[in-house]
Chain A
Amino acid sequence: MIATEPVVVERASTGGRAGPILAILFALGLASGPFWLSSDAMRLFVEFVCLLAMSQMWNLLAGYGGLVSIGQQAYIGIGGYALFVLANQAGINPFLSVPLAGIVAALFALPTSRVLFRLSGGYFAVASWVVAEVYRLFVANISALGSGAGVSLTAMLAFERGTRESITFWLAALLLLATTGGMYWLLRSRLGLALTAIRDNDVAAESQGVDVGRIKLLVYVLAAFGTGCAGALYFLNALRVSPDAAFGMDWIPLLFFTVIIGGIGTIEGPILGTLLYFTLRQTFSDYGAWYLIALGVVAIVVMIRFPRGIYGELAGRFGWRFFPIQRVLRQT
C-alpha cells in the first residue's frame, strides 16, 4: 500500500537552508582573519582546524565506513614527516608541501590497507594501532629524520614571521572548508548513500549492489589523505616534529572525545566536540592527570548512556540539521 502513496523526498530543513549561508559568512570572516587576529589566536585556530579535520576523517572512517581505526596517528605522523622531508630536504615550498604530504599519506595507506583489511572489527582496530607503532619505530630509527629527537622545519627560515603566520592561517581556513564542505558533498552524493548503507548493515548493502570492499578502501585512503594534510599543517604550525608527537597514541583519545562526545555519524557532532574539547582544555589543562581521568570517564559515560553524542541527542530532540545529508520521505 505504501508504495502507491505519493511520496516526496525532502532534504532541506530550516537549519539546513541557514547552514550554508552561515558557512559562507563564516568563510568571509576567516579570510580576513590575519588582519585582526593576534598571533596566539591564529595559532590556536590552526590547531583547532587540524584537530577538527582529523576528527572529521575519523568520523568518516568509524562513523560511516564502519572502520574503527585506532591507528590514524600513522597518517598524522606520515603527513607531518612528509612535509618536513619535502620542505627541508627536497626544497619544495612548505605551504605547497601540505597537500603533497596528504598525497604521501594516501600512498602509504594503499599497501597498509592490504594488510589491515584482512581483519575486521576489533582486530582491525588493534592491528591499525600496531601499524602506527611500526611507522613510529621506523622513523625513530632513521637518523636522516632526526631519530627519536625529531627535526625542525628549517625551510621556514626563508619566510618572515608575519607572512608565515598569515599563510598558515589561510591554509587552515582552506582545510576547514575542504574537510567540512568535502564531507557534506561526499555524504550527499551517491557514494554517501552507499556509505550510510554500509554503516547500517554492510551485508544488506552488498546485496543491494554496493561494492563494499572497494568503497571501504576508498574511504580508508581518503581519510589517510585528509588526516595526512591535517598532520602536515599541524606540524607546519608547530615548526617541529618528533616521532612521539607525530605518531604518539595521545591522538586517539582526542579523536574519540571530539567525535563520540560531539556525535558520531554526523558532520555537526565533531565540530561541536572539537569546540568543547578546546574550551575544556583552555580551562582545565592545568589539572594534568585529573583532567585526563575526567575525559576518560566522560567518554565511557557518554558511550554507554548517550551513544549518539551531544549533537545526536539535541538533533534527535529538536530536529536540527545544519548540514542535512539525510533524505526524509514525507507523504503528501
Chain B
Amino acid sequence: MNWLDTVIQGTLLGGLYALFAMGLAVIYGVMKQINIAHGDFIVLGAYVALGIVAATGLHPFLVIPLAMIVFGLFGYALQRSVLNRTIGGDILPPLVVTYGLSIVIENVLQQTQSADPKSIKLGGLDTASIPLGGGLAIGVFPLVMLGTAIVVAIVLEIVFNRTRLGMAFRAVSDDREIASLMGVRDNRLFGYATAISFAVIAIAGVFMGIKFTFTPTLGPNFLLYAFEAVVIGGMGSFWGTLAGGVILGIAQTIGFALNPGWGILAGHLVFLAVLLVRPTGIFARAA
C-alpha cells in the first residue's frame, strides 16, 4: 500500500462524505433532529439527476443548480407539511417518521427504477487526472468534489454566523420558545433549514451518482457515513464537519487498502474510537 496515495484518495473521498454530512448537520443544528431518511434522499437525488440528464442532455454539473432548487423547494414543503408535526420534546416521532420516509423512498425507487446499479456519466472527466510525479495522481472529479465541499462549508459558515437568518437559526436552536417570543417564526424557519439541507443533499446526490454506481438500497449506509462525519467533527462548526468527512474518508480508504472487507468497518471503528475518547467530537466549538 502506498500510504501517501491512500491518504490523498481518502481525503478526496472525504469531500463527498462532508457533503453528505453538512445537510444532516444543518437540520441537527437547528432542530436537534436526525433525518433518518437523509441517505435515501441522497440516493433519490442521484436518480432525479440521472433523470434530468437523460431528459435534457445537460452536463451533470449544470444539473446541480436545477436539482438544488427542486430539492430545496421539496425540503421546505416536506418540513412544513409533515416534519414540523414531529417537533417537540419527544425524540421518538421524528425518528419514526423519517424512518418511515426512508422505507417509502427505498421501495418506491426499487419499484420504479429497479434494483439494477446505475451511474451518472461525466464524459472524459470521470477518468481525467493531474499527475503529481512519483506515480501519484489526483483525479479531476474528486478534486472538484472536495473543492465543492469546501465552498459549501464556507457558505454555510457565512449563512449561520453572519446573516440575520443564521442568527434566527442559532436563536431557535438555543431556545425555541424564547426565540418565538422574540418574534422568530419558528415553523417557517424550520422550513428554511430543511430547504438548505436538501439543497446540499442535491449536490451530494449528483456527486454520489457520478462517484459510485448506485442502487435504491444504499441510503442507510450514506446516513451512517454522514452521521459519523458530523459526530467525529463535532457540532457547531461546518469546518468540523468537513474535517470529520475527511477523517472518515481516510479511515475507509486505508481499511479498503488493507482488506476490501474492512473499509466500511474501519470507518465505523474510527467513529466509535472518537466517541470513546472525545464524545463531543474532535473540533467541537466550546459551548
- Report which A residues bind B (CB closer than 8 A): 62, 68, 70, 114-115, 118-119, 121-123, 125-127, 129-131, 133-134, 137-138, 140-141, 249, 252-253, 256, 260, 264, 289-290, 292-293, 295-297, 299-300, 303-304, 307
Determine the distance from Cα of A307 to Cα of B261 in the docked complex, in whole angstroms: 41
* B265 & A134 in contact (Cβ 8 Å cutoff): yes
- Report which B residues bind A (CB closer than 8 A): 28, 32-34, 36, 82, 85-86, 90-97, 99-104, 107-108, 110-111, 220, 223-224, 227-228, 231, 259, 261-262, 264-265, 268-269, 271-272, 275-276, 279
* B272 & A130 in contact (Cβ 8 Å cutoff): yes
Residue of A nearest to B24 (CB): A126
A sample of 12 more A-B contacts (CB under 8 A), given A130-B228, A293-B103, is A115-B276, A118-B279, A122-B91, A126-B227, A133-B264, A137-B268, A138-B265, A140-B261, A264-B92, A299-B97, A303-B86, A304-B85
Given contacts A123-B34, A289-B111, contact A131 B101 (CB under 8 A): no
Can you offer 16 A-B residue contacts whose CB atoms are under 8 A? A68-B92, A70-B36, A115-B276, A119-B275, A122-B28, A126-B34, A126-B224, A127-B231, A138-B265, A293-B103, A296-B101, A299-B97, A300-B104, A303-B93, A304-B82, A307-B90
Determine the distance from Cα of A256 to Cα of B259 in the docked complex, in whole angstroms: 35
Given contacts A249-B220, A299-B96, contact A133 B268 (CB under 8 A): yes
Determine the distance from Cα of A249 to Cα of B92 in the docked complex, in whole angstroms: 18
- Going nearest first, the 8 A-B pairs with the smallest beta carbon separation are A296-B103, A122-B34, A300-B100, A118-B279, A296-B104, A289-B107, A299-B100, A137-B265
Determine the distance from Cα of A239 to Cα of B264 in the docked complex, in whole angstroms: 29
Determine the distance from Cα of A199 to Cα of B268 in the docked complex, in whole angstroms: 30
Determine the distance from Cα of A32 to Cα of B28 in the docked complex, in whole angstroms: 53
Residue from A126, A292, A303, A304 within 8 A of B107 (CB atoms): A292
Q: Quote the shortest CB–CB distance from B269 to chain A (angstroms).
A: 7
Residue of B nearest to A250 (CB): B103
* A300 & B33 in contact (Cβ 8 Å cutoff): no
Given contacts A300-B82, A303-B96, A303-B100, contact A118 B107 (CB under 8 A): no
* B279 & A119 in contact (Cβ 8 Å cutoff): yes
Chain A contacts for B110, CB-based, 8 A? 289
Determine the distance from Cα of A240 to Cα of B196 in the docked complex, in whole angstroms: 46
* A304 & B97 in contact (Cβ 8 Å cutoff): yes
Q: Quote the shortest CB–CB distance from B16 to chain A (angstroms).
A: 19
Chain A contacts for B93, CB-based, 8 A? 303-304, 307
* B95 & A125 in contact (Cβ 8 Å cutoff): yes
Chain A contacts for B228, CB-based, 8 A? 130
Q: Which of B33, B275, B279 has the most chain A CB within a 10 Å cutoff?
A: B275
Residue from A122, A130, A264, A304 within 8 A of B33 (CB atoms): A122
Determine the distance from Cα of A130 to Cα of B82 in the docked complex, in whole angstroms: 27
Q: Quote the shortest CB–CB distance from A63 to chain B (angstroms).
A: 9
Chain A contacts for B91, CB-based, 8 A? 68, 121-122, 125
* B275 & A256 in contact (Cβ 8 Å cutoff): no
Given contacts A133-B268, A296-B107, contact A304 B86 (CB under 8 A): yes
* A253 & B264 in contact (Cβ 8 Å cutoff): no
Q: Quote the shortest CB–CB distance from A212 to chain B (angstroms).
A: 16
Determine the distance from Cα of A197 to Cα of B32 in the docked complex, in whole angstroms: 24
Q: Quote the shortest CB–CB distance from B257 to chain A (angstroms).
A: 16
